[in-house]
Amino acid sequence: MIQLYGIYKSFGARSILEGVDLFIDKNTRLGIVGKNGTGKSTLLSITAGILKPDDGKIVVQEGIKIGYLPQKDVVFESDTTLIETLRKANTLLFKLEKDMEKAENEDPIKYAKLLDEYRIHGGYEYDAKIAKVMKKLGFSEEDREKKISEFSGGWQKRIKLAELLLMEPDVLLLDEPTNNLDAIGISWLVEYLKEFKGSYIIVSHDRYLLDAVTSHTGELKKGKLKIYTAPYSKFIEMKEEEERLAQKKYEETIALIQRYRRYIERNRYDKKTAGRAKAREKMLERIAIPEKPEIEEYPEFRIYSKDHLPTELLRAENIHMSFGENMVLCGVNLIVRMGEKIAILGENGSGKSTLLRILAGKLTPQKGTLHVNPSIEIGYYSQIEEEEIQENITPWELLLRERENITYKELFTLLATFDLSEEKIETPFFKLSGGEKQRTRLMLLFSKQRDLLILDEVTNHLDLYSREALERALLSYRGGIIFVSHDRYFTEKIKTHYYLLKDGKLSYFTGDYDDFVRLLEKSKEQQYAQRITTEKQHSKDDYFHFKELKKKERRLRRKIERKIDELEKLESMIEEYEQREKEMLKKFENPEELTDEDYTEYETIKNTLKDLYRKWEEVTIEMEKLEKELKEIVSE
């Protein structure tokens, strides 16, 4: 259906694709992997016809419908409502509906034919299909009438995915399709792709998805694409075996050449053996000296803890936390022991990150106690930047602050693990991309001895190779781990115990990840059924009940407006103090001119900023809770 021949693509002086060939037929189920920056997204964009190659040829079978999901920068043709966008996704049905409207009163015979065609192509089931896709991707009924522009970037990518799936293309090109999906959405997407009648190519760091839905794996490396007839996990085994055999053949050939040369040198001047030596010399000329095979060297690093750790590392007792009127954690108890790797499961918004912040000592609970063994050192990683880093300081300088005696071997192992080039480690922190900043934070975290690791979505900015290096390090780590992750493969591999956070309560979870997904689906079904029941009951309710709901709605809207005003004021203050902090940092470039008052002012600014960040987060969470409450009232 689609053929790519000798595709070349460069950006400036940097060559990305160098003669890539790719053939997509009716049965293609291909996952493309490779390190960050190897050109995976570029190849997908070229295949979709969005980006033009510098050289090469692309042949697309006439009439083929291609659906392309970019990793970012999702674009819609118009700013219609969600339901209008999804109804237009299937262009055939949408056109039939328009033609039927026109023919209904003008041409009864044509209308009957169109009606039959509409039925054959599933027109009568289309609304139910839209409802199912919306539900599985996490959209509520209230979202139906919202304009596309009202959704955040992550939700817009979900809309684009829903649009593509409803479009029913012949070829799907998906770039990181699970990035913004929860466990239910990922599980459903897996089942959808298994039943999909067309072909697809997926670029993803989600190894669970790749193993579940692909039959072939293409590795992009140094501008070349090599395809293996296996899903991801089997591809890793095949690649390792291929490298082992190549290395063995290389070593055997080199050994044979050396034996021949030694024999020739020993026997070429002896009349009795000179003939045999000459024969060996001719044989040696026919042996091609092979190139040394390039073996993929995976970064291996260790995460160190104390040699002698206490049995109990941390104990949380009766932890309560609320934001405004909304209780997030209610009587949470948890004990973490040496060697335990605890995965916290729960719906989005259930309070997992809040719990981790409390356990890491970044947030004080309103009630309850947290006991951390005084002999241990905690390492904490969060997607939110808990501590500011000076803009002009480089990752190299940051690393030396953490580890003055770090060896070059350790340094380059950490750089390779977290995909930071030697150039980047000398780049001022403010010039790094968002992903590079997060990987720098990870490098700093794991460069130092830690006895308990608290990790919130630690794999988000790592490629597959870095994830696997981190997994190996965490599996051999002797300390304790508490973590939250949407990466199912990572979670299942690392965890020793599951805990479930639901309705503010934390409980030991005895099932596996499939059980967790089923539990989520059951909970969603119950919520949906309850909402339907409420809607039916609402139609029977008297006028006064309806009036009371409207009063609550108006009250909540006023509260939300006040929170928005409060956030705007906080953001303005944060911007002001951040500017003042930058001005103070410039003063520090000339330390001989600094006064005691300057140091005092700088400390005051830093402390004020911390308070403002904390307050901003609290107000944001309060507003999200109010918005959730408002949605529940509106749905009644």
2-235 — its CATH code? 3.40.50.300
- CATH code: domain 312-509 is 3.40.50.300
User: Can you name the residues that pair with 199 across neighbouring β-strands?
Assistant: 171
pLDDT averaged over the chain? 86
Q: How far is CA 444 from CA 93, 382, 415, 417, in A?
A: 54, 13, 10, 12
DSSP assignment of 134-152 equals: HHHTT--GGGGGSBGGGS-
| Res 635: pLDDT | 64
- Cα–Cα distance between 437 and 389 in angstroms, integer? 10
C-alpha span between 30 and 28 (Å, rounded): 6
Q: What DSSP line would sit under 395-461, residue for residue?
A: HHHHHHHH-TT--HHHHHHHHHHTT--HHHHTS-GGGS-HHHHHHHHHHHHHTS--SEEEEESTTTT
Whether the domain at 2-235 and the domain at 312-509 fall into the same CATH topology? yes
Provide the pLDDT confidence category of residue 598 given band limits of 50, 70 and 90. Answer: confident
The 3-class secondary structure across 536-559, one letter per residue, is HHHHHCCHHHHHHHHHHHHHHHHH
Give the three-state DSSP class for 357: helix
- pLDDT for position 613: 83
State which H helix or E strand residue 636 sits in.
none
pLDDT tier at 532 (50, 70, 90 boundaries)?
Answer: very low
Closest by CA position to 218, among listed 208, 205, 203: 203
Close Cβ partners of 337 (under 8 Å, ≥ 6 residues apart) = 311, 312, 313, 480
Residue 276 pLDDT class (50, 70, 90 cuts): confident
| pTM across the whole model | 0.73
Residue 27: pLDDT above 70?
yes
Contacts of residue 605, defined as CB under 8 A and 6 or more positions apart, other chains included, come to: 577, 580, 581, 584
368: phi > 0 → left, psi -120 to 50 → alpha, else beta; which? left
> Is the pLDDT assigned to residue 387 strictly greater than 90?
no
Burial of 339 (0-12, 13-18, 19+ CB in 10 A): middle
pLDDT in tens, 80-133: 899 888 988 888 888 888 888 888 777 878 888 888 888 888 888 888 888 888
Cα–Cα nearest to 474, from 492, 501, 498: 492
pLDDT tens profile 362-376:
999 999 999 999 999
| Mean local confidence (pLDDT), 220-241 | 91
Nearby residues of 94 by Cβ (< 8 Å), 6 or more positions away: 87, 88
- DSSP single-letter state for residue 324: T
pLDDT surpasses 50 at 536: no
Q: Give the residue among 504, 496, 163 at the shortest CA–CA distance from 350.
A: 504
Confidence (pLDDT) at 538: 47
Three state DSSP letters for 431-444: HCCHHHHHHHHHHH
Q: Which residues pair with 329 in a beta bridge?
A: 321
User: Distance (Å, rounded) from C-alpha 140 to C-alpha 121?
Assistant: 27
385 is written with which tokens? 């930047």
Query: Could you tell me which of 475, 469, 498, 466 has the C-alpha nearest to residue 485?
Result: 498
Q: How far apart are CA 417 and CA 302, in angstroms?
A: 11
Q: What is the domain partition of the chain in residue ranges?
A: 2-235, 240-286, 312-509, 541-635
- Where residue 481 falls among pLDDT bands split at 50, 70, 90? very high
At residue 386, the pLDDT reads 59
How far apart (Å, rounded) are the C-alpha atoms in residues 330 and 504? 5
Tell me the mean pLDDT in the region 312-317. 94
